[in-house]
Amino acid sequence: MADACSVYIYYRVAAAQQAAARERVTQLFAQLAAQSGIHGRLLCRRDDDTTWMEVYAAVSAPEAFLAQLKAAETTLALASLIEGGQRHVEVFQPR
């Protein structure tokens, strides 16, 4: 898996939505792990706990993974819990 990518997704979640968002992200992680074998990690900014980041490492087929991710996000209506409904996706590859 030397050429595997890492996927980083960041977004903001208002304090009032954090419990519900955490539950949905947990469901998202379970669904993606079952489909792809890739386990996500959830982080928040040290100085701003409303900024969250999901990290997915060792993604060997990024296009397929991103399609699975998008479908799961839609099914779980994750955007409804995110400020502005926008998740910023970045894919990094080894150099």
User: Six-digit token pair at 39?
Assistant: 């386990």
- Domains: count for the chain: 1
Domain hosting residue 67, numbered range: 5-92
Residues 6+ apart with CB under 8 A from 34: none
From 43, 57, 45, select the one nearest 7 (Cα to Cα).
57
From 38, 67, 45, 42, select the one nearest 55 (Cα to Cα).
42
From 45, 47, 40, select the one nearest 25 (Cα to Cα).
40
pTM of the model: 0.93
User: What CATH number is associated with residue 62?
Assistant: 3.30.70.100
Q: What is the pLDDT of residues 26-72, one digit of tens each?
A: 999 999 999 999 999 999 999 999 999 999 999 999 999 999 999 99
